[in-house]
Amino acid sequence: MPYYKFEEDDLFTNTIEAYPQYRFYVQSGSIYINNMPHIPGINQDHSLGVPEGFISLYEYNIDRPSGNNIHPLLSKEGYKDTFKTTTKLQYNVTGAGDTIASSYNMSASISRDYYSTATRTRISALKSAFDHYSYLSPHYQYSSSLGDKSAQTINLISIPSILYGSKIKKGSVNLKFFISGSLIGELKDENYNGELIQIGPAGSTGSGSVAGVVLYREGFVALTGSWSLDSNTIAYDATGASKWIHFNYGANDGNSPALTTLSASFLMDYKGTTHTQTLTMFAHAKYGELNHSNNPTFVSSSDQFNVSTGSLQYIEQPKEIKNIVHSEFTDQDPQFKKTTYISKIAIYDDEKNLIGIAKVATPVRKTEEKQYTFKLKIDI
């Protein structure tokens, strides 16, 4: 089997920027991601092994029976290696050489934090981030004439990075508030500056006003809009009015929606930004090369076992390569051409360890007067 070394011009490293779209629908405390329905399993309530409305990071333990889950483990050595979920006490009582185990599945979903009192740890932690974005809009400022985030009521929507990548794409955030299926409010960062402006319904209360801001890189949506969107009484709080500070009520916020809140539903759309490193390789099948094969079918069937042996010798007679060239005439033998079919390309490291195999959909016919270049691409 021949080996060919990739030349400098045969290898290219690129970065692909993509904008995956996400949609979260929240109703009655249930979260639906990208319109994915509940898929029950045979052994688990949810086939992915994660709570409803969550995604599985690695998608391990798909509908596995209880007690048979895949899990990470390591042996306690002298390096003090352990898992973040292992407490100091658990580590100390584990004997040397014993196994320390953790668990899958790792999962993530959006969540909501409602702040109406002075205790607001997460808001305080984001003070620098809010002020950093103030060059985009004054509505980001932690404390200004537009509001004081240390005191005003804030509805904070948290989006894990696995659900947006490196940052949320500007201009892609859209929030919709429904009551009994009717749209009562819609927000969008239409100015690409993080301001969530109410754009609908036309002529609605608060239309054109800024109801919050988006922290694009940190994955937070901070809503401060406190005007009433609908006259119906909904049991969010003592006021009973639907406001942007109630958006995503019941989304992993510890609230169990009462019967009077079941008519409220919420839709959040946005696009993330991901960067994927890709390696592109060009493998060449040049003229006059790769036209021999060790496959037994490469020679005529009558020559495959043409071997003579004796007490002092082993002689393998010359074999005739099979001519598979097609002739248009039944009484004429076609001109002989060495022909092979390329079906796989193997990639090896410097020590000739196999690290990957590329397969073509249909084997490529290779003769000595033809050459091909195969483009291989792998995501890193």
The whole-number pLDDT of residue 299 equals 72
Whether residue 238 is predicted with pLDDT greater than 80 in this model: the reply is: no
pLDDT tens digits along 111-164: 999 998 878 889 999 999 999 999 999 999 999 999 899 899 999 999 999 999
Which residues are 374's β-sheet partners? 283
CB atoms within 10 A of CB 122: 12
* Phi, psi for residue 123 in degrees, rounded to 5: -65, -45
Quote the CA–CA distance of 292 and 298 in Å, as a whole number: 8
pLDDT of the residue at 1: 67
| More confidently predicted of 217 and 313 | 217
Tell me the C-alpha distance between 173 and 204, whole Å.
Answer: 20
- Alpha carbon separation from 6 to 11, 12, 98, 357 (Å, rounded): 7, 11, 46, 15
